[in-house]
Amino acid sequence: MPTLVKYSGDESICASSPFQPNFFDSGLMFSSPRVDVYCPQRKRARISAPFVLREQEQLPVKIVPSIDILPDECLFEIFSRVAGIRDRSACACVSKRWLTLQSSIRRSEIVSLPRNCSPVNPTKETPATNKDAGFPKETLEKESPETIEVDGDDAEEVIGSDDGYLSRSLEGKKATDIRLAAISIGTANLGGLGKLLIRGSNATRGVTDVGLTAIARGCPGIKVLSIWNVSAITDKSLCEISEGCHQLEKLDISHCPGITDKGLLAIAERCRNLSSLTLESCPLVGNSCLQAFGRSCVNLQSISIKDCPLVGDQGVAGLVALAANLAKIKLQGVNVSDVSLAVIGHYGKSVTELSFRGLQNAGERGFWALGNARGLRKLKTLTVSSCKGITDVGLEAVGVGCPLLKNLSLRRCCFLSDNGLRAFARVAQVLENLQLEECNRITQIGILTSFAHCKAKLKTLSLIKCMGIKDQNVCLNPLPFCNSLRTLTIQGCAGFGDQGLAAVGKICPRLQQVAFSGLTGITDMGFFSFIESCEGELVKVNLNGCENLTDNAVTRLVMHHGGSLQVLNLGGCRRVTDVSLKALLMNCPLLQDLDMSRCSITDRGIVSLRSSTKELPDLLILSLSGCSQVSDISLPVLGNLSGSLVGLNLQHCNAISNTAVGWLGERMWRCDILS
């Protein structure tokens, strides 16, 4: 027992001091000049406790001096004297703090280096220094950030003029302040940032005024700025942009609720080169900024305002009256009345394109004044959608007052009838493209009589979801003739059938592109009449959703126009089978785009594609989406098309396995396969 009590374990621990005389009264502790060790009661004592250094004997911590202990003000002064682009980029890579500080320095705040001072040789002696900047006063007065010259290898890397050659786009999670700060520094030696697009923002650390401020201070050559759906930015960042980016030409702000007239007023006053302005869903933007743009931006050519409830007649009328070079005007969902339309009609002498959508407060008098003011002598394109003010009287006035009008698009104009269309056709001298969508009071007789009175050479006609376009007993004798029409679209007109289709072929014999989409009323007989009447060569044919057409119609089509056919869409024609596919292979050598989605195509029809590399050398896109009878058996045949195809759609082909699609993807690595 005494032996066990006197056991001291490792001599290296307690070699310099014996145990206390009365061990049992010592609290099971023994000490040495170096350690204190706790020893619990055991049959054989073992020292397993950790070492506990006494407080007074702990090793001193060596303090390493660091530049980071300096406040931001001192670091700012240091970084403002770093003119080399590589040096600035290297400093920005150290930490986020250094990156933020670097990006907060304006180009004008970078202290100019004297010609005989090299930043890569800090030991080189300099002349007597100025007490404020550390460089001779004469040098500071003569040099500017655009003309800095340094000796050595960094001579070509100094920050010079920013011409704005680069484009950057940040979307979703990639749109953060850190990325914008890095862009502001990193693009300096690559030609400078010229175009920046921000789409959305990171939910947790998205774009704020800090990021845009970095762009404003580091990218003075930016010309195009587009910001969509960024709620954290305010007028502060726009004011910074106006101070640093005087070369700005295009500004697009959409869904930014923090932007008000204050920020846009700063842009208007300082960015005099602005040529295009787009404002969408900015609820705090009003009239005062629009007047400022018209007054200050003499180069303004395009203005688009959408869903800004505070914008009214005062802003729009003031802008149009002051902006003499304005060429494009788009207004949607704003509270303007007949006054604005009258001002546009009078002062819009340079306007070539007009678009009005959802102007609920503009009535018939406004559109009448738009045309009768006789100021829109250069107008070439007019789009009117969901405006109750466009009536027969207003449309005729527009035709009279706009002698160069070539493109007219009318959508959801419920008060427009055949009388207005006929009156417009009489006065329209150079009309080439006419689109009517959901104008239900326009009938087939109105279209035909308009052709009879039209003096212009109409090239394109689109009739989309017009319920008045349906088969009627046409008593016109002789039928009107439109030899200039090349493109015809009739889509979603449920009453349009064989009788109307046969009349189209006789009236427009020189068609090259036709789209009869969703017309369930046409059958093979009506299509036969149309094909036989077409004297020209059809290049593009869209029969999507024509469920009553069969293989006979497709066969007749390729017999008459197979040599010129390049694009054919048979999607949803369920009565079209493998017979049509074989006919296309034999008669359409120029076919580039073939869509047979939801047709009755089987593996037997696909096998006929085995030699299509010779018969269809130009086939680029093939769609078999929804063809449930096409299986894995057809994929080796499709693989033979790897030399020509760039797009293959196999979506909703349930008989094709994922394994087979993977094999096909390896075989056709140049082709974009949808499955």
Closest CA to 461 of 508, 417, 501: 508
In the chain, which stretches have pLDDT less than 50?
Answer: 1-35, 37-38, 45, 47, 49, 51-56, 115-161
The model's pTM: 0.78
Residue 482 to residue 618: CA distance in whole angstroms: 33
Q: What is the per-residue pLDDT for 185?
A: 80
Q: What is the per-residue pLDDT for 301?
A: 96
- Contact present, 592 and 621 (Cβ < 8 Å): yes
Residue 22 to residue 27: CA distance in whole angstroms: 10
Residue 197 to residue 212: CA distance in whole angstroms: 12
**Judging by DSSP bridges, how do beta strands 540-542 and 166-171 pair with one another?**
unpaired
**Judging by DSSP bridges, how do beta strands 540-542 and 513-517 pair with one another?**
parallel
Q: What is the per-residue pLDDT for 108?
A: 64
Query: Where does residue 44 rank: exposed (0-12), middle (13-18), buried (19+ CB within 10 A)?
Result: exposed
DSSP code of residue 124 = S
Query: Where does residue 664 rank: exposed (0-12), middle (13-18), buried (19+ CB within 10 A)?
Result: buried
Residue 393 to residue 405: CA distance in whole angstroms: 17
Q: What is the per-residue pLDDT for 22?
A: 46
Cα maximum dimension of the chain: 136
pLDDT in tens, 37-75: 445 555 554 545 454 444 445 556 656 557 777 776 787
Domains of the chain plus CATH, in order, are 2-57 (no CATH), 537-675 (3.80.10.10)
DSSP code of residue 350 = T
Q: What is the per-residue pLDDT for 242?
A: 94
